[in-house]
Amino acid sequence: MYATSGGPPYPGSTDLSGSYAGVLKPRRQASPTPTPSGTPVTPTPTPSPTASPEDHNSLGVFSVPVPPAGQGVGVFALFSHGQVYLGYVLAEADPTRASFNGVLKGSATSVALENTVTGEMKGRALHTITAPFSSAGVQLRGHAMVDFENNAAPEGILRTESMRVLGFKQTGLTSSATPTPTP
């Protein structure tokens, strides 16, 4: 019988470099609870930014390679309120904190004006066991705050949406080292 000295490695790997893909989905909004009749209604403060039912009309996808050190540059597409926003993602992964952070910047051009979108993604890298299929074994879970702007609007920011980030590591970065034959 053989045993690993010091026990099994935990976590499975601290290498977060590789290619990631995921989705940006609107956060679930709590449905208001009905007030029982006969009780006085006390106004409650509304959190900022306010979410309206039409804020659920968004969905995004992203893909970004993350190098072992520094930032990776990837792409994203975000579909929101009849507009298609295309842009880039700057992302980095910190293996000591198991964090994944990114910045989104993109635009949608219509006939008369250009709408832009900017935002921040913050997530946690979670190691998973994916047997019997062999995959990289890292999932992303987090959130993003996305600002939609219109160049023609005097106030600039049209709305801010809070979105969930759900993703996974597609592949690890491969080494360019070639194996040395043994004599």
- pLDDT band per the 50, 70, 90 thresholds, residue 9: very low
| Average pLDDT of the chain, as a whole number | 75
Q: In this model, does residue 116 exceed pLDDT 60?
A: yes
Percent with pLDDT over 70 in the chain: 61
Q: pTM to 2 decimals?
A: 0.70
Interior/surface letters 99-129, b for 16+ CB within 10 angstroms, e for the rest: bbbbebebebeeeeeebbbbbebebebebee
Tell me if 163 sits within 8 A of 60, measured CB to CB: yes
Where are the chain's structural domains?
Answer: 18-26+55-171
Residue 62's pLDDT is 96
C-alpha torsion sign, points 169, 170, 173, 179: positive
- pLDDT band per the 50, 70, 90 thresholds, residue 12: very low
Assigned CATH for 18-26+55-171:
2.40.128
